[in-house]
Structure 1
Amino acid sequence: MSSSIIDDQPYGRFHRKLFFLSAGGPFLDGYILSVIGVAITGATRELGLTSFAEGLVGAAALVGVLLGGFVFGWVTDRVGRQVMYTIDLIALVAASALSLFVTEAWQLVLLRFVAGVAVGADYPIATSLLAEWLPAHRRGRTMGALVAAWFVGASASYAVGYLVAAAGGEDLWRWVLASAAVPGLIILLARIGTPESPRWLLRHDRPQDAAEAIRTALGRYPTEQELARLAETEPAKSSRLSDVFTGGYLRRTLFVGGFWLCQVAPAFAIWTFYPVILGAYGFEAGDTALLWSMVVSLVTLAGCVPCIRWVETYGRRPVIIWTFVGVTVSLAALGSFPGMAAALAILMFVVNALAQGGGNILQWIYPTELFPTDIRASAVGVASAISRIGAAAGTYLLPVGLEAIGLGPTMLVGAGLSVIGTAMCVAWAPETKGQALHESAAVPQQSEARAG
């Protein structure tokens, strides 16, 4: 295996700090996308939202994530990771704070959309920057751990909603939405001064800046030999967004976008409307449903923990395949027996949450590993955009589906998507465990080997 000063570095203080700063993005993503499930009841009553408008509110942030990832992934490959690392959070903080002044449904939809754009932009920015700094032996585990921050954020949003509901009731829904501005501002300030990716700098023929970035991060300048070895893996090169859809990378784009879509389309719909869905299975609306929503989010977080290690011990491919199987079985059970007892429904949601948590860590690993530095952020943005088409559609259609075809068939649609995702992973999922970043991102050959 060829290596470099970055691939060979021990996992140290800088890497831990960068991880926590990058994890702020998925934390805010989980918080913002889940908190609407907490606020939607109060907003619907006060603003008089129809099921159509309710679906728009739920899907607006996801549409924003789609646009933000697609556009700003490309921008990040052009202008660099560092400058975008803070700009996107400014928009997020502003949109969250302005939620305090919402008086019309269209205002709520617009602010949710803007917040979604900011969150979507952070996907390619933060993941590319972190992946390009991590040593090879910790890349999978650390990138996978990012998704845990999503569920921490989701759980935090339900905790805030539970406390607010207990304190003042549903009338405080504006404050619930605006609360995202507080962690957003903290993360924004902490990110200032983060060094640029030396891999990106070398791709843009800036070796001296790359050496300075390494000194800032690792505490010493690289030797000429170390910088030359890293430069060999990151030759200066111009690229276009269309490169993501051409040559050997087209199948990889379809794979990462496809499996991501099949994971999040049913998952985001369920997470957004957990209180509503749990109510349909017999749980009381209000505090009880919110409490169970928080519990299920924490269980999803627990599902991430073993898989973060398993991707480095057993590999990426078996983890993603078997977690898809778990999601399929649980959704099929929920859909086939919609009248099941509430306790059994919770058990199925727990199984679903554990499998979702484990499988979702690959959303943060595969896209960064399968594409080179010059198109990495673009590829992550495109994959994120593809996934959010499904997530937005699922979130919009779930309340409509519950009203039109009922609970059981709606869950079975989600199970069908999971079957497609399973088949896609069996056919296309590569094994990248233990490879240096430039090796896993190399243009695949027709004979590309798969482990598993």
Structure 2
Amino acid sequence: MTARQSAAPDSAPGNAMVSSLVPARMDRLPWARFHWMVVVGLGVSWILDGIEIQLISASGYKESLGMSSAEVGLAGTIYLMGQVVGALVFGRLTDRWGRKRLFITTLAIYLIASGIAGFAWTPWFLYLWRFVAGMGIGGEYAAINSAIDELIPARYRGRVDIAINGTYWGGAMIGAVGSVFLLDHSLVPEDLGWRIAFFIGPLLGLAIIHLRRFIPESPRWMVTHGMEAEAERIVDGIEASVRDQGKTLPPVDPRRAMSIIPEDSVSYAQLVDVFFRQYPSRTFLGVTMMVTQSFLYNAIFFTYALVLQNFYHLDPSQTALYFFPFAAGNLIGPLLLGPLFDTVGRRRMIFGTYLLAGTVLLASAILFRQGVLTADTHTVFWCVSFFFASAGASSAYLTVSEIFPLEVRAQAISYFFAIAQVVGSTGPLLFGWLVGEGTERDPLFWGYVLGSVVMMFGGVVALIYGVDAEGKGLEEIAEPLTKADRDRGVGEEAAETI
């Protein structure tokens, strides 16, 4: 299918208007082996992040490096800081240089930095390379979410994105299992076990980085950056592989062609215009969804062990066992509920998952205050609450990655992710203070009430301001900034008429 080009009177010097069917052709594809390659090759990022967080929290390096509890906590904070910086830096580069270049680069940065951290002999060396590893994973969030959304057909996008984000908890379980054996000093020497643990992620990543070489650049991104002919060749190749599997492709209506005036990058002034003038309610929606889920997750996840120890008098070894059902609930939720985001719809499912998560947590808070829960029953309530919360949290990433124009997609993800991480970091501090020594239940009860209300508020905002994106192409949800006939003065209003 040949691109049609003509001079555009409002285009930049040297740029030509391109008429392309690439987005329509990508969205009409049936599910095929190509899509499985994308899911496996790109989806591993969240597994790696889960592994990293669990290894840090296990703190097997504490004695070897002579670190205090405060210094161990600082290692976790520095890793999260690296994620924020990486998301901001690599998010902009992803929109400018392309999805593939960055999802290869950021994974390589993580592999190298995490491996080097395993050779640490002093805290400052560990801090440095944990920060760099965090940058790699933070950059992955922006590059991978962008690529997945642009490569997966519209009717599958919701379930795929939500399921992949939920696999973070699969990684956390892998990290926890690895820690059980590698940090058992009767099996592995103390100074060796934690170092081996730091290589779990890089070894998995080495296999994946080879697979990623076969995943193409996003054809949608290429069209907006003046590489229409190459984008067409990539889509031709994907379609040929689908036909080789015995599947029939319906013809594409030529009227679905989109005229684009390619541009290299978007200025910061244009970014401000997109977020605050063209799409203000979507910006409010994205910030609210990301912040509310981050606050609840960080508050509960980083303090649940303290609750079990201080209120239910479990020792640390017993507490570690309770992590697995908690993580299982978080993993199963997105896998089972994800398809409903494509059928029942984004707005209703986001509202439902946020509301149910907050409601179950509120019920557990009331029972906790009355002293009728045990460690087992409290964990059951957490599992049920986060069965829904995990799907809702994953849908937050899906939302911010699909409701803004292609040219700013990765940056939108990075900005909202950074804001969520900063605000969410206050959760563990607040809830750690509320837990205290476990002598009074009222402070933590009110903390749980706050977490419940925050989550429910996020659901209500999604119900009011949410975007019915299910089954729609990304260009229908938010027109590219480079679209030739785009009304530069209209953002949300135009999208709502589609």
Match of 2:266 in 1: 239
Q: Structure 1 residues 110 and 230 mapped into 2: Cα distance closer, same or farther (>3 Å)? A: farther
CA contact (8 A) 2:357 2:388 kept: yes
Assess if the C-alpha contact under 8 Å between 2:166 and 2:391 holds in 1: no
Aligned residue identity for 2:227:
R
Deviations 1:89-145 (A, max 9, x none): 111112221232334334333333222211111112111112112212211122222
Which residue number in structure 2 is paired with residue 71 of structure 1?
Answer: 89
Bigger relative CO (Cα 8 Å, ≥ 6 apart) = 1
User: Partners of 2:71 and 2:426 in 1: how far apart?
Assistant: 14
Larger CA deviation: 421-430 vs 351-360:
421-430
The residue type equivalent to 2:467 in the other structure is P
Change (3 A) 1:88 1:201: same
Larger radius of gyration between Structure 1 and Structure 2: 2
Q: Select the structure that is richer in helix.
A: 1
Structure 1 residue 94 corresponds to structure 2 residue 142: no
Picking from 188, 211, 215, the partner of 1:194 is 215
Query: Deviations for 1:267-303, whole angstroms, at most 9, x for unmatched residues?
Result: 1343345544433342633443222202211111111
**Kept after mapping to 2: 8 A contact 1:95/1:114:** yes
| CA 1:160–1:409: 2 relative to 1, 3 Å | farther
Quick one: percent identity of the two aligned structures? Answer: 26
Q: How far does residue 195 in structure 1 lie from its aligned partner after superposition?
A: 1.1
The 1-side partners of 2:385 and 2:72 are apart by 25
> What's 1:307 paired with?
337
- Judge which range, 439-448 or 64-73, deviates more: 439-448
**Equivalences for 1:226-375 in 2 at 5 Å?**
232=258, 235-237=261-263, 238-241=265-268, 242=271, 243-282=273-312, 284-336=314-366, 337=368, 339=371, 340-375=373-408
Distance change >3 Å, CA 229–CA 135, structure 1 → 2: farther
1:247 partner SS: helix
Equivalent in the alignment of 1:390? 423
Q: Structure 2 length as normaliser, TM-score?
A: 0.80
Secondary structure in structure 2 of the residue aligned to 1:132: helix
Instruction: Name the structure 1 match of 2:166.
Output: 148
Instruction: Tell whether 2:51 aligns with 1:31.
Output: yes
The aligned length equals 446
Match of 1:205, SS? Answer: coil
Indicate which of 450, 454, 459 corresponds to 1:422: 459
Alpha-carbon spacing, 1:231–1:22, altered in 2? closer, same or farther (3 Å): farther
How far 1:16 sits from its partner (Å)?
Answer: 1.1
Distance 1:240-1:254 versus aligned 2 partners, 3 A rule: farther
Long gaps (5+) in structure 2: 1-20, 243-250, 480-490
Q: 1:45 to 1:201 in 2, by over 3 A?
A: same
Gaps of 5+ in 1: none
The residue number in structure 1 matching 2:10 is: none
Q: 1:114-125, aligned counterparts within 5 Å?
A: 114-125=132-143
What is the rounded CA distance, in whole Å, between the counterparts of 1:230 and 1:133 in structure 2? Answer: 18
Q: Give the drift of 1:446.
A: 8.3
After TM superposition, give the deviation of residue 168 of structure 1 in Å: 4.1
Letter of the aligned partner of 1:375 in structure 2?
V
Partners of 1:6 and 1:144 lie apart in 2 by: 20
State the partner residue of 1:138. 156
Q: How many Å separate the matches in 1 of 2:378 and 2:253?
A: 56
> What is the aligned counterpart of 1:444 among 492, 495, 498?
492
- CA distance 1:181–1:362, shift in 2 (3 Å): same
One-letter amino acid of the structure 1 residue matched with residue 222 of structure 2:
L
In the alignment, is the contact (CA less than 8 A) between 1:66 and 1:117 conserved in 2?
yes
How far has the Cα of 1:422 moved from its partner? 2.9
* TM-score normalised by the chain length of structure 1: 0.88
In 2, distance between residues paired with 1:24 and 1:227? 35
Match of 1:212 in 2: 233
Provide the rounded CA distance (Å) in 2 between the counterparts of 1:269 and 1:174: 28
* Partner residue in 2 for 1:19: 39
Deviation at 1:147, TM superposition (A): 1.6
User: CA separation in 2, counterparts of 1:218 and 1:102?
Assistant: 48
Aligned equivalents of 1:449, 1:357: Cα separation in 2: 31
Q: Which moved more, 1:168-177 or 1:386-395?
A: 168-177
Q: Which amino acid aligns with 1:20?
A: V
Change in CA separation of 1:381 and 1:233 when aligned onto 2, cut-off 3 Å: farther
What one-letter code is carried by the residue in structure 2 that aligns with 1:253? T
Query: What amino acid is the match of 2:419?
Result: I
Q: Residue 47 of structure 1: CA displacement? A: 4.9
Residue 247 of structure 2 corresponds to none
**Which deviates the most, 318-327 or 245-254?**
245-254
Deviates more, 1:377-386 or 1:167-176: 167-176
C-alpha distance in structure 1 between counterparts of 2:495 and 2:115, whole Å: 52
Please give the alpha-carbon distance, in whole angstroms, between the structure 2 residues aligned to 1:180 and 1:220: 31
The farther-off stretch of 120-129 and 382-391 is 382-391
8 Å CA contact retained: 1:36, 1:177: no
Q: Tell me if the contact between 1:34 and 1:154 (Cα under 8 Å) persists in the aligned partners.
A: yes
SS at match of 2:315: coil
Mean alpha-carbon deviation: is it higher for 47-56 or for 316-325?
47-56
Separation of aligned partners in 2, 1:396 and 1:53: 15
Amino acid at match of 1:98: I
Kindly report which structure 2 residues correspond to 1:103-122, keeping only aligned pairs within 5 A, or say none.
103-122=121-140
Q: Tell me how large the CA RMSD over aligned residues is.
A: 3.1
